Amino acid sequence: MEVFESSDDIYQILTEAISEGIVVVNDQQEIVATNQSLNTLFGYKKNELVGKPLNVLIPKDYHTDHGSHFSSFMEERSKRQMGHGRNLFGVKKDGTLFPVEAGLNPFSVYDKHYVMAIVIDISVRKKQEEEIQLLNSQLENKVTERTKELKKSISRLEAEVERRVKAENKIKESLRKERELNELKTKFLSLVSHEFKTPLSGIYTSATLAGKYTESEQQEKRDKHIKTIQNKVKYLNNILDDFLSIERMESGKVNYKFSEFPISKVINEVIYEANMLLKEGQNINYPLGIDNIVIYFDEKILELTLTNLVNNAIKYSPENTTIDIRVREEEDHLEIEIVDEGIGIPESEQKHIFNRYFRAENALLNQGTGIGLNIVKNHLENLRGTITFTSEENKGSTFKVTIPTTGNL
């Protein structure tokens, strides 16, 4: 090192051999010595820096800051690394900046204080760091892009899965419908063979017997048999109507027809038809105070509903019992109750009563198909009505129908 040249050649050789730049400044921040590496690093000739202020090696922007750091450092006088995590720059003679790392070592000679700074050019390292950062951010971008693509593929796959599940459900649904249709056909065949057999043989017998009464005074007897024939034909016709109803409902071919009509008209018709089915000593109580009630509803469906309920009440009640028909007007609906004193429905079976083909154990001695209530419930629900019941075995049943009286107009 130049200033110490004369005093110690070994020292000189050692400092010149070091590849890091070394600069020594006095307490006035004046450069008193540099080694060859530092000169080369900053682009100065030998000795050119000696006597110059340290600031020539520091970019202008850092001058003020650096001055105060230097003073406090001189007071502390302890070894340390410069910068503390900040990026440090050196400035070359030609003005170019380059990143450096500097370690500071204070020392004193003959009561004079100096600081030796060891300076390393870290351009290459910085550049590599920058390259690594660039590569990292490129990698991150790639990962983000791939993640996006992956998400897209996943949502495409999910949509595909959903589409397939829908298609599968559709197939399942049509299979279910087909199965139900087959079931219906089988039921129909077995019903035709069982349910039709008894009434048909009854019709045959009555017709044969009626044919035997040839005398004109035997008209009463003939009438009795004709009535039996009429009833049984009506019964068979009702079963066929039920099947047609199901078929229409299943294939979505029901067309409801709304009209305004007095409730008494439908009730009269239902009771008139039901009278022919009454057993010995049975009677139907006509509802009171209904003459002025006019509703807007599907008349055929109401008639089908009430016919089903009244016919059941007759069928499932013994002789000498009464069937009550009650009508009540509520604020937004009409309530119609059919009350009988019949066999009732066992509690354990009540929850199944509206299921298609379901028939309670205690009803099996009577003819029936288990279709009527199911159809009625479906129709009523399609028309915003309801059907419910309460029943006690061997005491009787009450079926309640509600018909909306607002919103249909």
Q: Which residues bind ligand ADP (CB under 6 A)?
A: 308, 312-313, 316, 340, 342-345, 353, 359-360, 363, 368-374, 397
- Least Å distance, CB 267 to ligand ADP, is 17
Nearer CB in complex with ligand ADP: 295/360: 360
- Least Å distance, CB 385 to ligand ADP, is 17
CA distances from 55 to 11, 77, 155, 293 (A): 26, 20, 62, 110
H or E stretch covering 132? helix 123-194
Dist CA 198 CA 38 (whole Å): 123
Instruction: Classify residue 344 as left (phi > 0), alpha (psi -120 to 50) or beta.
Output: left
User: Two tokens at 76?
Assistant: 């502390």
Dump the DSSP string for 261-313.
Answer: EEHHHHHHHHHHHHHTTPPTT-EEEPPSS-TT-EEEEEHHHHHHHHHHHHHHH
Taking CB positions, which residue lies at the least distance from ligand ADP?
Answer: 368
Instruction: Identify residue 26 by its one-letter amino acid code.
Output: N
Q: Which of 307, 234, 315, 316 is nearest to 270 (CA)?
A: 307
Q: Which of 330, 244, 237, 334 is nearest to 277 (CA)?
A: 237
Nearer CB in complex with ligand ADP: 282/374: 374
- Least Å distance, CB 159 to ligand ADP, is 44
Nearer CB in complex with ligand ADP: 102/376: 376
- Least Å distance, CB 299 to ligand ADP, is 21
Nearer CB in complex with ligand ADP: 128/355: 355
| DSSP state at residue 83 | S
Nearer CB in complex with ligand ADP: 41/343: 343
Nearer CB in complex with ligand ADP: 191/203: 191
H or E stretch covering 392? strand 386-392
Dist CA 138 CA 132 (whole Å): 10
- Least Å distance, CB 177 to ligand ADP, is 21
Entry field: residues in the chain: 409
| DSSP state at residue 6 | T
- Least Å distance, CB 205 to ligand ADP, is 23
Dist CA 234 CA 224 (whole Å): 15
- Least Å distance, CB 357 to ligand ADP, is 8
Nearer CB in complex with ligand ADP: 228/308: 308
Nearer CB in complex with ligand ADP: 39/245: 245
- Least Å distance, CB 371 to ligand ADP, is 6
- Least Å distance, CB 366 to ligand ADP, is 7
Phi, psi for residue 365 in degrees, rounded to 5: -75, -20
Beta 112-121 vs 21-26: how paired, if at all? antiparallel
Nearer CB in complex with ligand ADP: 67/318: 318
